[in-house]
Amino acid sequence: MIETILALDHKLADIITFNLKNNFFDYVMPILSNSKLWIAPLVIFIFFLCVFDKKRGIATTVVILITVAITDLICGGILKDIFHRARPFSISLTSFPSCHAANTFAAAMVFSYFYKNIFWRFLVFGAAIAVGFSRIYISAHYPIDVLGGFFFGGIIAFTVIQLLESKANKYIQGQLFNAK
């Protein structure tokens, strides 16, 4: 059974990497996959969020930063060593789960907790899915790695949100996070 799932995973990766190959994806997917290229747009987005939606924007930013830090630490520092799955075309780098997918999905979940507007939700989850797809397209991950990253990022974000809503956290909610 596991062999069948892994064979399907490899086949789907080949379809995405080779059959969907085109000039547009060849240009866009490496950009989506390069987290360094996201820094400036994210800083500008956070600036406007904090300036124009002060308390809620600051709360959103703080919770996203905390959530992504936890997600990245556990994903890259613990889970990859546990699963130790090789990346496509590389036996020296680990692949499962995709930290890019985990971090972007966790950030999208936290953002959508604070901002209920369907446009913003579509935008942030669309960005997370695009980043995950880009990781497969550039052969950095297999589809199961990305799905595992989405799942893990979702679990961490859900846990952080539940902690925010807990009665034990009333002081923090009242001071900073009562911004919904």
Q: What is the pLDDT of residue 113?
A: 94
Residue 168 has pLDDT above 60, yes or no: no
- Region 80-93: mean pLDDT is 81
Q: What is the pLDDT of residue 174?
A: 59
Give 3-state DSSP helix, strand, coil % of the chain, rounded to 5. Answer: 80, 5, 15
Mean pLDDT of the chain: 88
Burial of 80-93, coded b for 16+ CB within 10 Å and e otherwise, reads: beeeebebbeeeee
Q: How confident is the model at residue 127 (pLDDT cuts 50, 70, 90)?
A: very high
- Region 13-41: mean pLDDT is 89
Residue 76 has pLDDT above 60, yes or no: yes
3-class secondary structure, 180:
coil
Q: What is the pLDDT of residue 147?
A: 95
Q: What is the pLDDT of residue 172?
A: 56
Q: What is the pLDDT of residue 171?
A: 58
Q: Which two tokens stand for residue 102?
A: 């985990």
Residue 176 has pLDDT above 60, yes or no: no
43-67 per-position pLDDT tens digit: 898 898 888 888 889 989 999 999 9
- Rounded distance between C-alpha atoms, residue 105 and residue 132, angstroms: 9
- Rounded distance between C-alpha atoms, residue 95 and residue 161, angstroms: 27
Q: How confident is the model at residue 148 (pLDDT cuts 50, 70, 90)?
A: very high
Percent pLDDT > 70 in the chain is: 92
Q: What is the pLDDT of residue 8?
A: 86
Q: What is the pLDDT of residue 69?
A: 96
